[in-house]
Amino acid sequence: MKILVVDDEPSLVKGIRYNLVADGYEVETAGDGLTAVAMAKSTDFDVILLDLMMPRLGGLEACARIREFSQVPIIILTARGEPTDKLVGFESGADDYVTKPFNIIELKARIRALLRRSGMRRDGGEPGPGFGDVTIDTRRRAAVKGETLIDLTAKEYDLIETLAKSPGRVYSREQLLDIIWGVDYLGDVRTVDVHIRRLREKLETDPANPRLILTKWGVGYYLRG
C-alpha cells in the first residue's frame, strides 16, 4: 500500500514516515498542498495524510482539488480540533480527521480502517442493494446510477450501504455516527448531514428535492422503500 504524507513540519513527516515504513507501507512525502495535488494526479496512492495549515496551498483547498479527480481516502491532520473545523474538512471531501498531537498507534489504526473500507474499489464490480435507478457496487465500493459509475469516498460508501440494506428504516444521526464512525468518535453529528448532502449531490437527480435519500424531520435519514 502506498501512502502520501503531506505536512510542512519535517520532524513530524519524518516520524510518521518512519512508523509507516516499519509497518510495510510505501511512503512518499510532500511539504505543501500544490505538490500534494500534483503527486496525487501522477501517482495512485491508497491513502493521503494531509495537513491543514501549509504554505502555497492549504490542506482544505488541496483536498477539494484532489476530489475533482480522485476518491482516494484522505485523512486531515491538524492542530485545530473544533467541530466546525472538522465539518469544513468533511465538506472539502476528507474521510477522517486526526487532531494534533496524536498517538501514532491511533493514526495507524485509522489508516488500516480506511484501507479495509476502500480496498475492494479496484476490483471487478459486484451488484448489491439497489434503490431507484441506483445500485450499490459492493466490490468496487461505489454506486451505479443508470449506466454511470459514481465514485464514493469511504465514508460515503459506508453510509449509503448502511441505508440501502434496510430501505424505509429511519436511522438517527447518532445511530449513523456510531455505525459509520464508531462509538468512540467524538465528532459532531452534523458530520452525518455533510455526508448525506454529498451523497444527494452525487446520486439524486435534483439534490435540493431528494426522492431517494429522505429526511424524517426530527428523527434522521432513510432510503425510500
For the chain, the 3-state helix, strand and coil shares in percent, each to the nearest 5, are 40, 20, 35
**Check: CATH 1.10.10.10 for 127-223?**
yes
For residues 47-58, give the mean pLDDT: 90
Q: How confident is the model at residue 11 (pLDDT cuts 50, 70, 90)?
A: very high
The more confident residue out of 139 and 189 is: 189
Greatest CA span in the chain, whole angstroms?
52
- The CATH code that applies to domain 2-118 is 3.40.50.2300
For residues 73-82, give the mean pLDDT: 81
The more confident residue out of 101 and 48 is: 48
* Sequence spans of domains, the chain: 2-118, 127-223
Mind listing the pLDDT tens digit for each residue in 113-148? 788 766 544 444 444 555 777 888 777 788 888 778
For residues 171-195, give the mean pLDDT: 85
Task: Pinpoint the alpha helices (H) of the chain.
Answer: 10-22, 33-42, 59-67, 83-91, 104-118, 154-165, 173-176, 190-203
Whether the predicted pLDDT of 163 surpasses 60: yes
Query: What pLDDT, on the 0 to 100 scale, is given for residue 15?
Result: 95
Q: How confident is the model at residue 40 (pLDDT cuts 50, 70, 90)?
A: very high
Query: What pLDDT, on the 0 to 100 scale, is given for residue 166?
Result: 86
Query: What pLDDT, on the 0 to 100 scale, is given for residue 122?
Result: 42
> What are the strands of the beta sheet with 148-150, ordered from one edge?
127-131, 134-137, 142-145, 148-150
**Percent residues over pLDDT 70 in the chain:** 89
Residue type, 148: T
